[in-house]
A and B are shown apart, each in its own frame.
Chain A
Amino acid sequence: MKITQQATDTSLTLNLDGELDASSSVILDTELSKPEVLDYQKILIDCQRLNYISSAGLGVFISHLQRLQDANVKLIFYNMQEKVHNVFEILGLDSLMTIVPTQAEAVAI
């Protein structure tokens, strides 16, 4: 798993590349745990190259969900592959998290 990021004044974009499993989810957790994350209005997760997400990977987003909501930071996923979206859907996370098809839509929110 490779995570790259771009930041603007208001948003932070994380590009996830590869498989988000038990070991790589630790890296993601480190990124999301940084205090400066809460300074942005939006955290955008680019899932274009995310091939697989394990329950540990889901756990990272779940554990940060409340914290981000409390700080009024929006968590937005976009470019999600069908099978990854399916995992979010089965678990019911699509009702809790904002998942949009394209980057343009993600930025527009």
Chain B
Amino acid sequence: MSLRQKLQTAVLPLTILSWLVLLYCTLSAASPTLAEQLGKPAAWVALVAQAGFAAGVFLYQRNLPDPLRGTDFTGLLRRLLLGPGVLASVCVGLHLLERFIQAEAPSNDRVFFAVIYTINLALFIIFLAGTNYTWRSLVLFRAPTHLRREWLWFELLLGATLLFRLLNWAPTGLLAYPVMGGLALFGIYLSGNQKWVAYLNRRQKWEVVLLQSGLLLCMGVFVVYFLRIEHDPKLVAPAPQHAFLLLTVFFATFYSLVGLLVTFFNLPTAGVFEQKREEILSLQRLTQLIQKGQTEKEIYSTLFDSAVQTVGADAAWLTLDAPVDGYSGQYFNIEPEQSAAIHSLLTDYNLGHIEYLNNDLDNSSGFRSLKLPFSSMIVMPLRSTKRRYGSLYMLKDQRHGFDRENLGILQTFTSQTVLSIENLQLLQASIENERVQEELKIASAVQDSLIPKTLPTDNWFEISSFALAAKEVGGDFYDFLHLPGRRLAILVGDVSGKGVTAAFHVAQMKGIFHALMQENPLARNDREKFPVPSRFMSQANTALIHCLEKSSFITASLYIIDYEHGGFVFARAGHCHTLYYHSIKEEVSYFRTAGLGLGIIRNDSYEKHIKNQFYDYNPGDVMVVYTDGIVEARGAKQEEYGEERLQRVLERTYYLEAEEIKQHILSDLAEFSHGQPVHDDQTLLVIKFKAVQPDSHS
């Protein structure tokens, strides 16, 4: 336990002891017999006891926890009044008792009188201590540091006045006025700190006025008592600490009085303050409620209710430009016909979509003609920088019903609402976006499943493939189909456009491919069991006429490789030329055949525009099939990769395995288009024909 704590616990016993000593001194002064029996104490004992008691009570009160709880000022004053009220009643009671006894049995017994006096003095000092430290709580309520320091000085100086009497020295004459006056001025200065009054509402202010009056009454009771008995001949007690008591009484009274006046004169403005407070509170409430709002309708309703309540409108309505989920606004105390009439009048005045405050509707002939029961109106549009949502209309019966502040608060309300609405919309949009992304992922996965995962393998050729979509789903496609008689059909193509539409047509082409490449049971010979490429293209063109939009087309190449006969036949429907390495000529060249894309001609004449090309291959020949995403890939200067560059790569790499050739082409392409985004889907197939394997005959 620290010394400070020890001293604090010693204060109460010492205070009580001081009072008992004071009582003894008073009694001994009042009764000579008692003085003889117990011995007459020295004069300084009484003075020390008196000063010690006063100091002890103040110190004890000072060390109690701050009586102010939060901003419960009325509670604080009520508790304060209860204490002194009781003390004052006791004081009055004792005095009356004494007077009564005096009246019944007049005597010159000064002992009883002295006891009453000593008790009352103690009560008065306790009362003063309680009051002063309650005032401390109020003065220091949210006070800056310098004020706390000033209060400490005030306490110290007051304490110092206790010594005046103790040292038997009192500032006399000329010196008394500056010292006492200075301290009194200090008290007046501190009494100016009445910040707490601003935190009271009207009802609390009335209550405070009553409580302060009660407090002043109690103070008066004590003061009157002491003034009355001051000159009583029976009073033989040592003179009290005048300077200290006077100053504390002065401060306690003055602070109370100033508080009372401040509160009293604040009463007329209490309504305005309360309104402001209410506005702030309802704004907070609105913000919280709006954030809880799950739908736009809930948010608009909250705005409407809060706005009507806060500005105290007699009638109001809200209209939305575009109804949300069947909610287009709401009405309060007004018929839709009336509101429609006002709206059309405002539109005529070209005021329909701006902030508008009219406090004297009857002044305008237009409004007069509507014969409205209202005289004031505010129109507040709900809008963000991007768009307008609707308008809020507030009406009041009396003229000059609205002020600039109402306009301000409504502005805040509506902008808060618009913010919440847009937040909600953003949230919904992001959920929707997420859903679309999710569906695109599924589409991408579905399309991925359309691309053959396992490439056909046999010992007479090697095949290697590459496919890259520029977006989630692409317009490039390729597929394989084994035909009887050691034949392989390869389809490569590109749907114009990209994205989901293109992806649909890809799936369609795959369906057409598998449907048309079925064995024809009516065929006269093996060759006619399956359509030749040109026939396939013509049939595919017919199939596509009805489902391809007018500006879309498909390019495709179909190859049917016949190993039995060591040859292949293909048709090119507008697709990129086939790059080919002829091992026998040791030459790389393009098959430059004619052929029209699918879906361009939408009648029977298509067959005239497509041709078959036959070729007998040799072992070591290499065929490179690709889509325009490869040759039209852009370089740093936006130039195209081009057929020539592709040809040169094959001239350098034709002797390698199919997989290696593909890798070389891709790395050359990557080098060329380094740093450029992929604009178009890219597909690349490399097929290398091999020499006859001894065990290959089945």
Q: Cβ of B609 and Cβ of A58 under 8 Å apart?
A: no
CA A65 to CA B609, docked complex, whole Å: 16
> Do A95 and B609 contact each other (CB < 8 Å), given the known contacts A59-B496, A90-B576?
yes
Once the chains are docked, how many angstroms separate the CA of A59 from the CA of B594? 19
Task: Kindly provide the distance from the CB of B600 to the nearest chain A CB, expressed in whole angstroms.
Answer: 5
Closest CB of chain B to A71's CB: distance in Å? 16
Which residues between 55 and 106 of chain A lie within 8 Å of chain B, taking CB atoms? 55-56, 58-60, 62-63, 65-66, 83, 90-93, 95-96
Beta-carbon contact of B497 and A55 below 8 Å: yes
B window 567-616: CB within 8 A of A: 573-577, 594-597, 600-602, 609
A83 to B638, CA, bound (A): 14
C-alpha spacing A66/B545, complex, angstroms: 13
A contact residues around B574 at 8 Å (CB)? 90-92
Question: Is the Cβ of A92 less than 8 Å from the Cβ of B496?
Answer: no
Interface members, chain B 341-398 (any A CB < 8 Å): none
The answer to the question of B550 belonging to the interface, with a C-beta cut-off of 8 Å to chain A, is: yes
Chain B residues bordering chain A, tally (CB within 8 A): 22
Asked, given contacts A56-B496, A58-B496, A83-B640, whether A93 binds B600 with beta carbons under 8 Å apart, the answer is: yes
Task: Give CA–CA (A58, B495) in the complex, Å.
Answer: 13
- Determine if A96 and B601 form an interchain contact, defined as CB atoms under 8 angstroms apart: yes
Chain B residues contacting A96 (CB-CB under 8 Å) are 596, 600-601, 609
Segment with Cβ contacts to A, from B311-319, B404-412, B418-426, B551-559: B551-559
- Give Cα distance in the complex from A65 to B552, angstroms: 13
**B550 x A92 contact (CB < 8 A):** no
Given contacts A58-B496, A95-B594, A96-B596, contact A63 B602 (CB under 8 A): no
A63 is contacted by which of B497, B551, B594 (Cβ under 8 Å)?
Answer: B551
CB atoms of B609 and A59 under 8 A apart: no
* B601 neighbours in A (Cβ, 8 Å): 96
Which bucket holds chain A's interface residue count?
10 to 19
CA distance A56 to B577 in the complex (A): 20
In the bound complex, how far is the Cα of B575 from the Cα of A95, in angstroms?
15
A59-B596 in contact (CB<8A): no
Q: Could you mark each residue 535-570 of chain B with 1 if its beta carbon is under 8 Å from any beta carbon of chain A, else 0?
A: 000000000000000111101000000000000000
Nearest B residue (CB) for A61: B551
Pairwise interchain contact B555-A56, C-beta atoms closer than 8 A: no
Q: In whole Å, how far is B537's beta carbon from the nearest beta carbon of chain A?
A: 11
Given contacts A55-B496, A56-B496, A58-B496, contact A92 B553 (CB under 8 A): no
**In whole angstroms, how far apart are the Cα atoms of A64 and B340 in the complex?**
50
How far apart are the CA atoms of A66 and B551 in the complex, in Å? Answer: 11
Say whether A62 contacts B553, CB under 8 Å. yes
State how many angstroms separate the Cβ of B77 from the closest Cβ of chain A.
77
Q: Which of A60, A83, A90, A95 contacts B551 (CB 8 A)?
A: A60
- Choice from A22, A56, A90, A92 contacting B609 with Cβ under 8 Å: A92
CB-nearest residue of chain B to A60 = B551
Chain B residue contacts of A83, Cβ below 8 A: 640
Q: How far is the CA of A65 from the CA of B599 in the complex (A)?
A: 12
Name A's B-contacting residues (CB within 8 A). 22, 29, 55-56, 58-60, 62-63, 65-66, 83, 90-93, 95-96
Could you pull out 8 A-B pairs where Cβ atoms are within 8 angstroms? A29-B551, A55-B553, A55-B628, A59-B552, A90-B576, A91-B600, A92-B573, A92-B596
Q: Which 5 A-B pairs have the closest CB atoms?
A: A92-B596, A59-B551, A55-B496, A63-B550, A63-B551
